[in-house]
Structure 1
Amino acid sequence: MRSKTMMWMGILFSTTTHAISLEESVAFGIDYSPEIMAQYSRFQSVIRDKDAASGLYLPQANLYGAIGYEETRYNSGSYIDPEDRGLTRTELGIKVSQLIFDGFSTTSNVDRLGYEAEAERLTLISRAENVSLDIVRIYLERLKAQTLLELSERNVKEHQEIYQDVLDKKQQGLSSNSDLAQISARVATAQSSLIASQNNLFDLTAQFNRLVGQKPKGLVHPNFDGALLPSSVDVAKSQAIENHPEILAAMLDLEAARKEVRREKSGYYPEIKLELHANKNDNVSNAEGPDEDARIMLTMDYDLFNGFSTDSRVESSAWRVEEARAIRIRTEREVTEGTELAWNAYDMLDKQKSLLQQNVDAAKIAELGYIQQFAVGRRSLLDVLDAKVEVFLARRNYVNTKFDHTLAAYRLFNAMGILTYALRVEHPEEWQEEVK
């Protein structure tokens, strides 16, 4: 059940030394996921159920054999042979039957299981889509945490440089204790923020290992395929409804439920079979010697009354059709909602990102100006420290928005059911073959 992506990666690269891309992480994670493994097993199980049901199309052969002691006594109380009242009886028989008509029970059941198997295949693809989104999210979160950690380290370094500068000036009598206390407090705050960033990075590393089964080494910022993005939210919703595997699976479940109704209605019809019987027996009914017979017969079995059990089963399956229809409607609404939310997030974050970039640029210009003015005594130390905090927060906000914007694009691909396609991760061949 390993994807082609995994095959060439395993040959060309060593995971202990090679930087792992987003696409490689998703390919690793799909093969590593117990959720996908469980769904794949269920898919294969339903296929075997369909094969088992199809077996009723073929002749059924049964062999029967028996051996034992038999004695016969008549109503008069006498035995056939007073000297030897019993014989060793043997039986050997074969029965071959061919189903001709069973009220469409077999055909309906085979069709039902075919729809269910195809629904499970599409559910497997949907599971892969959702697992891929989880991996994309943790990949971007881990990469963002690394970037924010670097920002925090840079922030601490800059505050420590200012602290050393103020300390030198104080020793020369050019600065006050309040200035030193002020920068000391800011250094402590920056170091606390650094520790929080380190802790977040450790947590995300553990989550990455759980989902991917690999260490997050050398992560790089991914570039999503913008050509796959829809032109509007209406186009996105239309493509999602048409292509999303969960919706397609729900539609197949509805068809399977309808076939179940037809299968249960088979109880209203007779069952017709062609049967061949052949027996080779010995010493039957205390008659010493062979007792052989053979016959071929057309049989009919018609259930005239079974306590309304068939009616109840038909009604029960009819309600399952209504349940499947409601699930399909709910699935379509959830997919539509998810697509709209993903589109809104992508669109708004795209606008917000450009504004936050302007914020970073303006904050940096203000910081440089404050530093120059502080050097000539026109600004206080507090002004400089506040300016640095403003730059740090502006950069952090921009980083958060940048990664959230990228994640929103992948969320939109997932909502449309094309995430693995957008990542160029190819599914195994058995996932791609439609169940007939």
Structure 2
Amino acid sequence: MINESSNLHDVSARYARLIGEEPPADLAPAPALQDKLPRDKDLLVSAVRSSPAYLAALENVRAAQSDLKVKRGAFSPTLDLRAHAEKTDNLNSVYGTHDKQSVALVFNINLFRGGADKARLGVSAERYNSALDLRDKACRDLQQTVRIASNDARKLSEQMGYLRQHALSTEKARDAYLKQFDIGQRSLLDVLDSENELYDSKRALVNAEYDNKLAQAACWPPPACCCPACS
């Protein structure tokens, strides 16, 4: 009992850290997600399209690619059209108003700048390659998470049937022990053992039910509000 109270305190503190408020005395039941989940073949597609981590990695790739194009642009020639107009009085000790106007085409090409542009291009290329690697890693991590969660949800759904049957059988055994205890065929220790076994079986069933809901929720790409059953 002391151990369970300690576990309750730990999860309550974690709830307050994540939600920003203390947990209520009675929490609403977790929503049913089994019928709301995408089909197995659509899980990865849905996750890739909606995962913030993967989408952020894609944006990093686009940003690095744009920066790389800018750095490459330093090696491209430029042609500028420049216009200049100037009006002065008493220019070079010559009294009167003087107007100067000019139009020019200026052609520039980067032949050599001490290797600075080449160094910047190399750094930008490395940053782009690193962004590609991080994007691929985010995709692999997402696929692994979704596949594991999908498999866990499927296995736990199968397991819950056996756990329900075990809890029902244990409850019937407990009831039989109580009747046998009343007529002196069972000891009090036998009854207490059957009560303890019934408690453990029901607890295992409840844990499996919520583990199954967690696995189903993990099949949805974060954040959880993407899940229509939670909205």
Structure 1 pair 292–405 and aligned structure 2 pair: CA distance change class (3 A): farther
On the 8 A contact 1:364/1:391 being kept in 2, the answer is: yes
1:270 corresponding residue in structure 2: 77
2:101 corresponding residue in structure 1: 295
For 2:227, the aligned partner's letter is A
1:392 corresponding residue in structure 2: 199
Kindly indicate whether residue 227 of structure 2 is the aligned counterpart of residue 409 of structure 1: no
Give 1:409 deviation, angstroms. 0.8
- TM-score scaled by length of structure 1: 0.47
1:306 corresponding residue in structure 2: 113
Kindly indicate whether residue 33 of structure 2 is the aligned counterpart of residue 228 of structure 1: no
How does 1:354-433 map onto structure 2 within 5 Å?
354-414=161-221, 419-423=224-228
Distance of 1:215 and 1:309 partners within structure 2: 56
Q: Which blocks of at least 5 consecutive residues in structure 1 are unaligned?
A: 1-192, 427-436
Across the aligned residues of Structure 1 and Structure 2, the Cα RMSD in angstroms comes to 3.0
For 2:14, the aligned partner's letter is Q
For 1:420, the aligned partner's letter is C
For 2:206, the aligned partner's letter is V
1:318 corresponding residue in structure 2: 125
On the 8 A contact 1:274/1:296 being kept in 2, the answer is: no
Distance of 1:278 and 1:199 partners within structure 2: 82
Give 1:292 deviation, angstroms. 6.3
Distance of 2:108 and 2:101 partners within structure 1: 18
On the 8 A contact 1:373/1:379 being kept in 2, the answer is: yes
SS at match of 2:101: strand
SS at match of 2:103: strand
Structure 1 pair 283–224 and aligned structure 2 pair: CA distance change class (3 A): farther
The Cα offsets for residues 274-321 of structure 1, whole Å up to 9 and x where unpaired, read as 445455678988x59888655353344443321222222223322223
For 1:304, the aligned partner's letter is L
On the 8 A contact 2:83/2:103 being kept in 1, the answer is: yes
1:244 corresponding residue in structure 2: 51
On the 8 A contact 1:224/1:409 being kept in 2, the answer is: no
Structure 1 stretch displaced more, 373-382 or 198-207: 198-207
2:138 corresponding residue in structure 1: 331
For 2:226, the aligned partner's letter is Y
Distance of 2:192 and 2:84 partners within structure 1: 99
Distance of 1:252 and 1:353 partners within structure 2: 42
The Cα offsets for residues 347-399 of structure 1, whole Å up to 9 and x where unpaired, read as 11111112111111111111111111112111112111111110111111111
Give 1:266 deviation, angstroms. 1.5
Structure 1 pair 292–398 and aligned structure 2 pair: CA distance change class (3 A): farther
Distance of 2:175 and 2:220 partners within structure 1: 42
For 2:37, the aligned partner's letter is L
Structure 1 pair 295–197 and aligned structure 2 pair: CA distance change class (3 A): farther
On the 8 A contact 1:229/1:413 being kept in 2, the answer is: yes
Distance of 2:187 and 2:230 partners within structure 1: 56
On the 8 A contact 2:91/2:98 being kept in 1, the answer is: no
On the 8 A contact 1:413/1:419 being kept in 2, the answer is: yes
Distance of 1:355 and 1:424 partners within structure 2: 27
On the 8 A contact 2:36/2:228 being kept in 1, the answer is: no
On the 8 A contact 2:36/2:229 being kept in 1, the answer is: no
Structure 1 pair 362–311 and aligned structure 2 pair: CA distance change class (3 A): same
Distance of 1:290 and 1:338 partners within structure 2: 82
On the 8 A contact 2:85/2:100 being kept in 1, the answer is: yes
On the 8 A contact 1:280/1:290 being kept in 2, the answer is: no
SS at match of 2:80: strand
The Cα offsets for residues 314-340 of structure 1, whole Å up to 9 and x where unpaired, read as 233222232222222211111110011
2:151 corresponding residue in structure 1: 344
Aligned residues: 229
Structure 1 pair 273–387 and aligned structure 2 pair: CA distance change class (3 A): same
SS at match of 1:320: helix
For 1:220, the aligned partner's letter is A
